[in-house]
Chain A
Amino acid sequence: MSVVAPVLELAGVRKSFGPIEILHGIDFALAAGEVHALIGENGAGKSTIMKILGGFIAPSVGEVRLDGRPAPYHSGAEAEAAGVVVIHQEFNLAPDLTVAENIYLGREIGRVFLDHRAMRAGTQALLDELDSPIRPEARIRDLPVSDRQMVEIAKALSRKARVLIMDEPSAVLTSREVEVLFRQIERLRAQGVALLYTSHRLEEVTRLADRVTVLRDGAVVRRALRGELTEDGMATAMVGRDLEDIYPRKRHHPGEAVLEVHGFCVPPLVADVSFALRRGEVLGISGLVGSGRTELAEGLVGLRPATGEIRRNGVPVAIGSVREAAARGMAYLTEDRKERGLLLDKNLRENLTLSTLARFGAPFLSAAREEAALGKAIADFDIRAPRRDMKVGNLSGGNQQKLLLAKTLLADPEIIIIDEPTRGIDVGTKSQIYAFIDALAAEGKSVIVISSDMPEILGLSDRVLVMRHGRLAGDLAGERISETAVVRLVMGTAEDAAGNPHHV
Chain B
Amino acid sequence: MSDATLRPATGLHLPGLSALGPLLALILLVVLGAFLNDNFLSAGNVTNVLARSAFIGMIAVGMTFVITSGGLDLSVGSMAAFIAGVMILAMNALLPGMGVGVPLVLAGMAIALAVGLLAGLGNGLLVTKARIEPFIVTLGTMGIFRSLVTWLADGGTISLDFGVRQFYRPVYYSGLFGVAWPILVFAAVAIAGQVAMRHTRFGRYCEAIGSNDKVALYSAVNVDRIRLLTYVLLGLLVGLATIMYVPRLGSTSGSTGMLWELEAIAAVIIGGTALKGGYGRVWGTVVGVLILSLIDNILNLADLVSPYLNGAIQGVIIVLAVVLQRGKSAA
**Could you tell me which A residues sit within 8 Å of B by CB distance?**
303, 321-323, 325-326, 332, 334, 339-346, 350, 354-355, 357-358, 362-365, 367, 371, 386-390, 394-396, 407, 411
Contacts and interface: CB of A to CB of B under 8 A. Distances in A.
B215 A340 contact: yes
A386 B215 contact: no
| Chain B facing A: main interface SS | loop
B98 interface: no
A268 B27 CA distance: 60
Interface of B: 1-9, 11, 13, 195, 199-201, 204-205, 207-208, 211-212, 214-222, 278-279
B9 A371 contact: yes
B1 A386 contact: yes
A388 B9 contact: yes
Contacts of A323: 220, 222
Contacts of B222: 321, 323
Contact of B214 (A321, A339, A394): A339
Given A354-B204, A365-B199, A386-B1, A334 B9 contact: no
Contacts of A362: 201
A357 B204 contact: yes
Contact of A367 (B5, B11, B214): B11
18 contacts: A321-B220, A321-B222, A326-B220, A339-B212, A339-B214, A340-B218, A344-B212, A346-B207, A354-B204, A355-B220, A357-B205, A365-B200, A386-B4, A386-B6, A387-B6, A387-B9, A394-B1, A411-B220
Contacts of B11: 367, 371
A387 B3 contact: yes
Contact of B211 (A346, A387, A390, A396): A346
A490 to B, nearest CB: 27
Contact of A303 (B7, B13, B201, B218): B218
Q: When A and B form their complex, which 6 residue pairs have the shortest distance between CB atoms, in order from nearest?
A: A388-B9, A355-B219, A322-B220, A354-B219, A343-B211, A364-B199
Contacts of B200: 363-365
Nearest to B219: A355
B6 A341 contact: no
A466 B150 CA distance: 66
A365 B7 contact: no
A361 to B, nearest CB: 9
Given A386-B4, A389-B9, A358 B215 contact: no
B214 A345 contact: no
Contacts of A346: 207-208, 211
B218 A322 contact: yes
A344 B214 CA distance: 12
Given A343-B215, A354-B204, 10 more contacts: A322-B219, A322-B220, A332-B218, A339-B215, A340-B217, A346-B211, A354-B221, A388-B8, A389-B9, A394-B1
Best-buried of A341, A346, A390 by chain B (most CB within 10 Å) = A346
Contacts of B212: 339-340, 343-344
A389 B13 contact: yes
A335 B8 CA distance: 31
B219 A386 contact: no
A367 B6 CA distance: 22
A323 B8 CA distance: 34
Nearest to B196: A363
A436 B6 CA distance: 26
A350 B9 CA distance: 14
- Most chain A CB inside 10 Å of its own CB: which residue of B5, B13, B221: B221
A343 B278 CA distance: 9
Contacts of A367: 11, 199
A357 B222 CA distance: 12
Given A322-B219, A326-B220, A340-B218, A357 B201 contact: yes
Contacts of A358: 201
B45 to A, nearest CB: 37
Contact of B201 (A334, A344, A365): A365
A122 B163 CA distance: 80
Nearest to A395: B1
Contacts of A332: 218
Nearest to B7: A387
Contact of A365 (B5, B204, B214): B204
Contacts of B9: 371, 387-389
A334 B2 CA distance: 27
Contacts of A390: 3
A386 B7 CA distance: 7
A346 B4 CA distance: 18
A334 B195 contact: no
Given A364-B195, A388-B9, A340 B214 contact: yes
Nearest to A337: B215
Contact of A386 (B3, B199, B214, B278): B3
B217 A303 contact: yes
A366 to B, nearest CB: 9
Nearest to B6: A386
Question: Which of A303, A340, A350, A354 gathers the greatest number of chain B CB atoms within 10 Å?
Answer: A354
B3 A342 contact: no
B5 A355 contact: no
Contacts of B195: 364
B196 to A, nearest CB: 9
Contacts of B8: 388
Contact of B208 (A354, A364, A387): A354
A334 B216 CA distance: 12
B144 to A, nearest CB: 30
A341 B218 contact: yes
Contact of A345 (B6, B205, B211, B219): B211
A342 B205 CA distance: 13
Nearest to B1: A394
B44 to A, nearest CB: 38
A288 B31 CA distance: 68
A386 B220 contact: no
Contacts of B6: 386-387
A365 B218 CA distance: 21
Contacts of B201: 357-358, 362, 365
Contacts of B3: 386-387, 390, 394
Contacts of A371: 9, 11
A339 B218 CA distance: 10
Most buried by A among B212, B214, B217, B218: B218
Contacts of A350: 204, 207-208
A407 B217 CA distance: 14
Contacts of B215: 339-343, 354
Contact of A355 (B13, B211, B221): B221
A343 B13 contact: no
Contacts of B278: 343, 345
Contacts of A395: 1
Contacts of A396: 1
A234 B201 CA distance: 55
Contacts of A341: 215, 218
Nearest to A357: B201
B329 to A, nearest CB: 9
Nearest to A368: B11
Nearest to B209: A343
Contacts of B204: 350, 354, 357, 365
Contacts of A354: 204, 208, 215-216, 219, 221
A364 B207 CA distance: 16
